[in-house]
A = this chain, B = another copy of it.
Amino acid sequence: MSDHVYKLVELTGSSGKSIEDAINNAIAKAGRTLRHLHWFQVVDTRGYIEDNRVKHWQVTVKVGFRVDDEEDDD
């Protein structure tokens, strides 16, 4: 059956380096417990400041993954 269903989870990844790195951290973490990760979408970009510089980039993403019958999520 070609009618797929995807679930979206919302994650906040952080990184001391860059926005791209914070997103990859969130996805890598999600990939340890979820299979079939397909796409993400940035929801919010924030961060913490220390000594007048960005100390932690914090990016909230929605990650979509395909839900298979044999290995259902949740």
How many monomers of this protein are in the complex? 12
Interface string of A3-46 (1 = CB under 8 A from B): 11111111111111011101111111111111001111110111
Please give the distance in Å from A70's CB to the nearest CB on chain B: 11
Given A8-B10, A24-B53, A39 and B47 touching (CB < 8 A)?
Answer: yes
Residues of A within 8 A of B (CB): 2-16, 18-20, 22-34, 37-42, 44-49, 51-54, 56-57, 60, 62-64, 67, 69, 72-74
Query: Which residue from chain B places its CB closest to the CB of A72 in the assembled complex?
Result: B33
Query: Which residue from chain B places its CB closest to the CB of A13 in the assembled complex?
Result: B5
A27 vs B51: C-alpha distance in the bound complex, in angstroms? 10
A5 vs B60: C-alpha distance in the bound complex, in angstroms? 10
